[in-house]
Amino acid sequence: PARYFDTKTTEPISFFLSGLEELLSWQPNSDDEFNVSAVPLAKRQPLLRSRRPRTLVCHDMRGGYLEDRFIQGSATRNPYVFYHWRYIDIFVYFSHHTVTIPPVVWTNAAHRNGVSVLGTFITEWTDGEKLCEAFLAGGEEAYGAVARQLARIAQHYRFDGWLVNIENTLSAAAVGNLAPFLRELTGQVHSAVPGGLVIWYDSVLQDGSLRWQNELNEQNRVYFDACDGLFTNYNWKEEQLQNTRRLAGPRHADVYVGVDVFARGDVVGGGFDTDKSLRLIRQQNLSAAIFAPGWVYEHLGEENFLQNENRFWGLLAEYLPTHSICTLPLATSFSLGMGTSRFLDGKDEETGPWYDLSVQEIQPLYPEYQGRLTTSCCLQDAWCGGSSLRLQGTIPAGEESVAVRLFSLQMPAPPKLFLTLLYKLESPQPDDFTVALEVTTWDSGTCLEGNPTSLPEPNGRHYPRFLPAPPPGLAKLLAACHHNSYGWTSRCYELVLQDCSLRDLSVIVSRQEPSPQETSFTCLLGEIRVLDTASVAASPPQVQSVTASQLWWQ
């Protein structure tokens, strides 16, 4: 069927639903199994329900369902990717179809990085009025059926909820049932999807008129009270943020103030000035909804996209609280889910463009220190996948090393950790530098490293012990400890801790010899792994009852 498979290639594709009839007649079937997310939502800290202001990204690009609709990837050159997951909480996939089901590749990539994904339920123009009349004016049975179907769809495809956007006027009968519908949908989503969310877009008022308020006020508060949050329109003024903060009270983090990166209308900031809007939003302790950050790709072009993308998010970083990883193992080759080649064990196995967000790996922080360090993606060389992480910087005169914080962590440390690192130095004199890992722990009087007689490290800094060879029993898993292939150097470490809580994982680039001059370096990171020894040594559970379906013989 054309909905599930591309008519030109027969490849499985992601899809949307148009109109009320398609929504109400939707049933899961064997053709759409490709669309079910295979990646559970990773745990992270702080939790989404904490009171800390959040960051929502609303992805709206050229009508949606572009190359990202190909579930098993495509040979797209210079595709759009998003990878600053550590800085955001919620990812909304937006289009103008009635029911926008997020393409599963986005759900997989977001979930691997701990970010919740919402689809969009939208009605607009005269068709929207008719649709709303049909299900809202129809009473409890009619709107209850729509709420149940939307919750079932999120549950079946394993994404996390809905943005609801009613952009048309409503009759008195329809508007009377709007808040009850939102309450019903929110309840259904909460019971069907663990951690599920329903967010309302600032559009229709309680009298049924379509007037964007750009704030939370008494005319739209009834909808805010009926669901998990409000996404405001974009043309707000500072005074409206203050009003919103007052009215929201303890739910201030549930108001997502809209920021249009394309800066359409009378708005603050936009483009590379988006930080101006965020500064005002955060002064009021409100959440932010960044709409269409694909501006970087659409407006500035595909050629220098990765460079421009890092610049865009780098300018916002001080207003984007980051998230910690709170489970092990942590393993990543930093691949973006795209590339100009496919690499395996450092070797270019297949040259040619590819794009598949489902195989995007866990993404790090992308720190920048005023002119001293930049972190970016390198497509020209990688250990595994399509890209590696490039660290470029200088070690200042008189200093021995520079530390690059890649991940913040928040979990009790197991008694023994194994860590592996794969790197390649591209500096003019690579032998002038060494690269190693550093683990920091949260300050605590009880945290000890190594044997019980050792003293706590100052500042909770630990330098794992280098292992010349992997320990017996782990030789197969840690095979990378042995070889240096295609210019990549591999290192294995162990760290024994007692009563500690992990805080940060950093890479330290050091000079071999002290120098009165500053020294520049370029280092590619190909892979990092942090493993709990006890769980690695245990044998994995047996895989049961495997089935294969939808086979295509070629």
- In three-state secondary structure terms, 491 is strand
Instruction: Determine the residue type at 242.
Output: Q
* Domain extent at residue 421: 330-537
Residue 546 lies in a domain: no
pLDDT in tens, 242-260: 999 999 999 999 999 999 9
User: HSE (CB half, 13 Å, CA atoms) of 395?
Assistant: 25
Does residue 256 share a domain with residue 152?
yes
pLDDT tens-digit profile of 521-539? 999 999 999 999 888 877 7
The C-alpha R_g of the chain, in whole angstroms, comes to 25
Q: Which residues fall within 8 angstroms of residue 294, CB to CB, at 6 or more apart?
A: 59, 60, 61, 80, 261
Local confidence band at 456 (pLDDT 50, 70, 90 cut-offs): low
CB atoms within 10 A of CB 318: 11
Report phi then psi at 292, rounded to 5.
60, 55
Average pLDDT over residues 376-382: 96
Q: Tell me the three state secondary structure of residue 484.
A: coil
Please say which residue of 321, 343, 358 terminates a domain.
321
Q: Which helix (H) or strand (E) holds 341?
A: strand 338-344
Q: What does the angle CA 105 – CA 107 – CA 109 come to, to the nearest 5 degrees?
A: 70
Spatial separation of the C-alpha atoms in residues 486 and 492, rounded to whole Å: 18
- Polymer length in residues for the chain: 554
Residue 380 lies in a domain: yes
pLDDT at 413 over 90: yes
For residue 251, give the nearest of 467, 521, 51, 497 by alpha carbon: 51
Which of 289, 321, 353 marks a domain boundary?
321
pLDDT tens column, 48-82: 999 999 999 999 999 999 999 999 999 999 999 99
Same domain for 417 and 498, yes or no, is yes
Give residue-wise pLDDT tens across range 270-284. Answer: 999 999 999 999 999
Which pLDDT does position 458 carry in this prediction?
A: 56
> Which DSSP symbol is given to 13?
B
DSSP string covering 56-99, please?
EEEE--TTS-SGGGBTT-B--SS------GGG-SEEEE--SSSE
178 falls within a domain:
yes
Supply the pLDDT for residue 1: 81
Span 535-550, average pLDDT = 83
Assess whether pLDDT exceeds 90 at residue 294.
yes
pTM: 0.96
Domain shared by 350 and 207, yes or no: no
Cβ neighbours of residue 386 closer than 8 Å, sequence gap 6 or more:
335, 336, 337, 338, 339, 340, 341, 342, 343, 354, 379
**Is the pLDDT score of 377 beyond 80?**
yes
Residues 317 and 339 in one domain: no
- Are 411 and 368 contacting, i.e. CB atoms less than 8 angstroms apart? no
**213 and 298: one domain?**
yes
User: Residues 308-331: pLDDT tens digits?
Assistant: 999 999 999 999 999 999 999 999
> Regarding predicted confidence, which is higher, 472 or 128?
128
Same domain, 301 and 381: no
User: 423 forms bridges with which residues in the sheet?
Assistant: 489, 525
More confident residue, 445 or 84: 84
Q: Which residues pair with 393 in a beta bridge?
A: 373, 521
What is the model's pLDDT at position 258?
A: 98
pLDDT of residue 376: 95
If phi > 0 it is left, if psi is from -120 to 50 it is alpha, else beta; for residue 429 that is: beta
User: Which residues contact residue 521 at a Cβ distance below 8 angstroms, ignoring those fewer than 6 apart?
Assistant: 391, 392, 393, 394, 395, 425, 427, 433, 509
The mean pLDDT value for 377-387 works out to 96
Sheet of 44-45, strand order: 44-45, 324-325, 401-412, 501-511, 433-441, 461-462
18 in a structural domain: no
In angstroms, rounded to a whole number, what is the distance separating the alpha carbons of residues 339 and 445? Answer: 46
Q: Report the alpha-carbon distance of residue 105 to residue 345 in Å, rounded.
A: 24
> pLDDT band at 479, cuts 50/70/90?
low
> Are 339 and 311 found together in one domain?
no
Shared-domain flag, residues 250 and 352: no
Q: How confident is the model at residue 452 (pLDDT cuts 50, 70, 90)?
A: very low
Same domain membership, residue 228 and residue 280: yes
CATH of the domain at 439: 2.60.120.260
Q: How far is CA 92 from the centre of its chain?
A: 11
pLDDT of residue 99: 98
375, 487: one domain: yes
pLDDT at 219 (0 to 100): 97
Burial class (CB in 10 A: 0-12, 13-18, 19+), 431: exposed
Q: Examine the fold and report which residue of 321, 346, 371 is the final residue of a domain before the chain moves on.
A: 321
**What does the pLDDT read at residue 423?**
95
State how far the Cα of 334 lies from the Cα of 339, in Å rounded to an integer. Answer: 12
Q: pLDDT for 166-190, tens place per residue?
A: 999 999 999 999 999 999 999 999 9
Report DSSP letters for 157-171, one per residue: HT--EEEEEEES---
Q: Answer yes or no: is 426 within a domain.
A: yes
Are 137 and 234 in a shared domain? yes
pLDDT category at 453 given cuts 50, 70, 90 is very low
Q: Please state the rounded mean pLDDT for residues 199-220.
A: 97
Is the same domain home to 396 and 513? Answer: yes
pLDDT digits (tens, 9 = 90+) for 39-50: 999 999 999 999
Which tokens hold the place of 196? 């599920």
Q: Which residue has the tokens 């050159």?
A: 77
pLDDT band at 477 (very low <50, low <70, confident <90, very high): low
Would 341 be classed as within a structural domain?
yes
Beta-strand pair 433-441/416-425 = unpaired
Q: Is there a domain that residue 137 lies in?
A: yes
Mean pLDDT of 106-134: 97
Residue 41: DSSP 8-state: P
CA distance 191 to 326: 25
Q: Residues of 291-309 as b/e, b for ≥16 C-beta within 10 angstroms? A: bbbbbbbeebeeeebbebb
Tell me what pLDDT residue 132 has.
Answer: 97
Q: Which of 368, 282, 375, 362 is nearest to 323 (CA)?
A: 362
SS3 sequence of 406-437: EEEEEEECCCEEEEEEEEEECCCCHHHEEEEE
Q: What is the pLDDT of residues 503-515, one digit of tens each?
A: 999 999 999 888 8
Q: Write the CATH number for 229.
A: 3.20.20.80
Number of domains in the chain: 2
CB neighbour list of residue 257: distance below 8 Å, 6 or more residues apart: 232, 236, 241, 244, 277, 281, 286, 287, 288, 289
Is residue 285 a part of any domain in this protein?
A: yes
Q: What is the mean pLDDT of the chain?
A: 93
**What crossing angle do the helices spanning 178-192 and 140-157 adopt, rounded to 10°?**
30
